[in-house]
Amino acid sequence: MSLTFDNCGSGLAGWLGIWMGTAVAASAFAEELLQPDLAPPTGPTRQTFVVRDAGGVREAMGRARPGTTILLRPGRYPGGFHFRGLQGTAEAPVVLGGLDPEDPPVIEGGANGIHLSEPVHVELRDLVFREASGNGLNIDDGGTFETPARNVVLRRLRVEDVGPTGNRDGIKLSGVVGFLVEACVIQHWGSGGSGIDMVGCHDGLIVGNVLRHTEAVAASNGSGVQAKGGTSGVTVRRNRFEHAGARAVNIGGSTGLEFFRPPLVHGTEHWEARNIRVEGNTFIGSSSPIAFVGVDGAEVRFNTIYRPQRWAIRILQETTAPGFVACRGGRFTDNLVAFHSASWSGGGVNVGSNTAPGTFLFARNWWHCMDDPARSRPTLPVPETDGIYGTPLEFRDVGAGDLRLAGSSPARVAGAEALP
């Protein structure tokens, strides 16, 4: 079933209905009738709403049920949408997207461009979020982890110019279980925020995205991807980070105890992040592309790290309340690290207090000091297994931002391209 909502904020006046191929309602606001799209009799009825303004978006979202697709025509829409309790199914999600992926609609302004609370099986795709004052996109569990947001897909979104100052995020996820963030471009979020900020999120994949900020922000504050507040089971794979905050990937962090999801249980061990994997990514700049902060197990492997501004890695503990384990169990393997001696502090690894650096593992990484290869060996908290120091990495075209390796490079066994 396909319907059109144009300027229909006043209720059902703007809708065309079809049931089994027969028109049952018409409206002066209805612009066109699209080809019916009905699921098999045993499945949910599919319906598509095409909208062109904010009123149409709200009207269609209010009518959404499993199998509903809402498509926004190209143009500009005021931000500040908030939708609660959207319910799709695995076979029939609720989809909100752009009608024309080549000319996606732009959602401008608002505290949040869109805020979804307690969505289940919902997909957002082919949308642009711009100049939100708080967060470009905010998805949460409505403040209670008993009803988390579940099975959320974010695909081909562009989020930009958020804030611009303070703790303002491009995409903010709180209490989301089962999620995919794919093929998005996120740039210029708040100076103290994150491109993608996860608080108490579980079982997610962040893949094929570009996150970029300015060199000034990358030298001082913020993060590209942050996983904290009890976040677990998240993979960050094949993304590109360009000056994406001081910590391009902040595995862990510092969270108010009341915001952990699930809630902390007295007498048990706590952590900011657990079972996080960062693999196949390319990092340019940042004070420290990788930070382990209050982690209980995380793996960073097959990444390419180019010109970090102080360290390649930080091992920190910011949450020291009773029950929190010392940052432990990190693995850093099969990575390429190319750095300049003038931007390399403390041997490239910063270890803070209240951590357990002896539990970390380093293996098969390639380290190259570009201006003085003899200084390529980092200062690690534990001995590295089979590390390579000082061998030129032979990037294809650094000036053009192409950090793939030349075919002749002996380092092709490591780094982003070598991810199995």
Distance from CA of residue 256 to its chain's centroid? 21
The answer, yes or no, to whether the previous bond of 262 is cis (omega within 30 of 0) is: yes
Regarding whether 47 and 195 lie in a shared domain, the answer is no
Q: For position 46, what pLDDT does the model report? A: 87
Statement to judge: residues 341 and 277 lie in one domain: yes
pLDDT, tens digit, for every residue of 358-405?
A: 999 999 999 999 999 999 999 999 999 999 999 999 999 999 999 999
* Same domain flag for 100 and 149: no
Give yes or no: residues 307 and 242 share one domain.
Answer: yes
Q: Is 123 part of a structural domain of the chain?
A: no
Segment 279-301, tens digit of pLDDT = 999 999 999 999 999 999 999 99
Within this chain, do residues 193 and 341 fall inside the same structural domain, yes or no?
yes
Whether residue 128 is contained in a domain is answered as no
- The pLDDT of residue 44 is 65
**What is the β-pairing status of strands 17-19 and 304-306?**
unpaired
Strand partners, 286: none
411 closest CA partner among 387, 378, 383: 387
pLDDT band of 218, cuts 50, 70, 90? confident
In a domain, 242, yes or no: yes
Q: Are residues 237 and 193 in the same domain?
A: yes
Q: Is residue 352 part of a domain?
A: yes
**Cα separation, 95 vs 353, whole angstroms:** 46
Q: Domains in the chain: how many in total? A: 2
For residue 126, is it within any domain?
Answer: no
Reply yes or no on whether the pLDDT at 197 is more than 90. yes
Instruction: Flag whether pLDDT at 90 surpasses 90.
Output: yes
Read off the pLDDT of each residue in 54-77 and give the average, rounded to a whole number: 98
Write the CATH number for 260: 2.160.20
Same domain, 44 and 172: no
Q: How far apart are the first and last CA of the chain?
A: 43
Question: How far is 187 from 162, CA to CA, in rounded Å?
Answer: 8
Residue 129 belongs to some domain of the structure: no
- Judge if 16 and 82 occupy the same domain: yes
Range of the domain at 414: 134-418
Point out the domain boundary residue: 78, 113, 148: 113
* Spatial distance between the Cα atoms of 177 and 152, rounded to a whole number of angstroms: 8
Residue 186 three-state SS: strand
Whether residue 33 is found in the same domain as residue 141: no
Give this prediction's pTM: 0.91
Final residue of a domain: which of 83, 113, 143? 113
pLDDT of 3 over the 90 cut: no
Q: What mean pLDDT is predicted for residues 118-136?
A: 99
Q: Residue 160 pairs with which residues in a beta bridge?
A: 130, 187
Residue where a domain stops, chosen among 59, 81, 113:
113
Q: Coil, helix or strand for 205? A: strand
State whether 341 and 310 are in the same domain.
yes
